[in-house]
Amino acid sequence: MLRTMITATNTMGQLQNKLDTISNNIANSNTTGFKAKEASFNELLYQQFNNDKLDRAERQTPVGIRYGSGAMLGQIKSNQKQGSLQTTNRDLDLAFTTAKQYFNILMPNGENGTETVYTRQGDFYLSPLNNGTVMLVTAEGYPVANAAGQAITLPDNVQGFSVRDGGILEASYPNGDIIRTDLAVTEFQKPQLMEHVSGSYVGLPDNLAELGFTQAEVLTELVGANRQQIGMQGGTLEMSNVNLSKEMTELIQTQRSYQFNARTVTLADQMLGLINGIR
């Protein structure tokens, strides 16, 4: 009975992790650029009992009895399918029309330090600086990087924006001047290796070398002739690719599995009580 309880509790802990993943997907169903996570399970070690050697009946299952020890969460992978595009007619709402391409964002990391993180969330804003210029930032206030890896700054009297082929952001001014900036765009070669940072932001894992990969094998910064691969559209936002119907179905199924394993623990406890009560 103790083994039955251990098997059930092992699975319950892993099902709780899947419930957390589903809850996070549902909570971010309206977050622009968010990519849903999908959890898959693997079987834990099992013990083989060959107790039916005299049984000659043909079976589709292996001979004997396999006594498992539960299931574990094998992988949580990101669904890279592109979300639907919603027209906003706002100059600084940008969306990719191709998959696996991300904006480069400079996120603070320690004292006066920054690290590059990546997102497909393209609702950008202008943040005024003290020197008469403005900085292109995300909704959270993080600077957007240009192709040189620097924060994008512009004179503060900008009149409008437009996007050109190759990820070029054009800022127009009342006197007719136009300032062109190459937005930093990165394409993921192995998106499943990226680590979630917060919201719709992802970054390279700290133990990338231990995983046996180099940065060049995981992502590619689109520069030079490769910038022709960039598909970007202005006045549009990419919505989350979370399928609420699918997530609710997965939620119900996972809850049922959790309840089944919890019931197993209860029944095993009752059987132990009966055994202990035998005189």
Q: What are phi and psi of 132, to 5 degrees?
A: 80, 15
3-state secondary structure of 90: coil
**pLDDT tens for each residue of 131-176:** 889 999 998 999 999 998 899 999 888 989 999 888 999 999 998 8
Answer whether residue 28 shows pLDDT above 70.
yes
The string of pLDDT tens digits covering residues 92-131 is: 999 998 888 999 999 887 666 788 999 999 999 999 988 8
Please write the tens of the pLDDT for every residue from 253-263. 989 988 888 88
pLDDT cut 90: percent of the chain above it: 33
C-alpha pair distances (Å), 144 with each of 52, 73, 186, 243, 244: 67, 35, 13, 29, 30
pLDDT mean over 10-24: 88
Q: What is the pLDDT of residue 87?
A: 93
Instruction: Annotate 110-146 with b (16+ C-beta within 10 A) or e (fewer).
Output: eeeebebbbbbbbebebbeeeeeebbbbbeeebbbbb
Give the per-residue pLDDT at 115.
Answer: 87
Q: Looking at 70-79, 168-177, 190-199, 200-209, which range is the least confident one? A: 70-79
Q: Are 33 and 121 in contact (CB under 8 A)?
A: yes
Closest CA to 149 of 104, 202, 213, 187: 104
* Backbone torsions φ then ψ of 156, nearest 5 degrees: -75, -5
pLDDT value of residue 77: 86
pLDDT at 278: 80
- Closest by CA to 136, choosing from 84, 76, 183, 79, is 183
Name the band, by pLDDT with cuts 50, 70 and 90, for residue 78.
Answer: confident
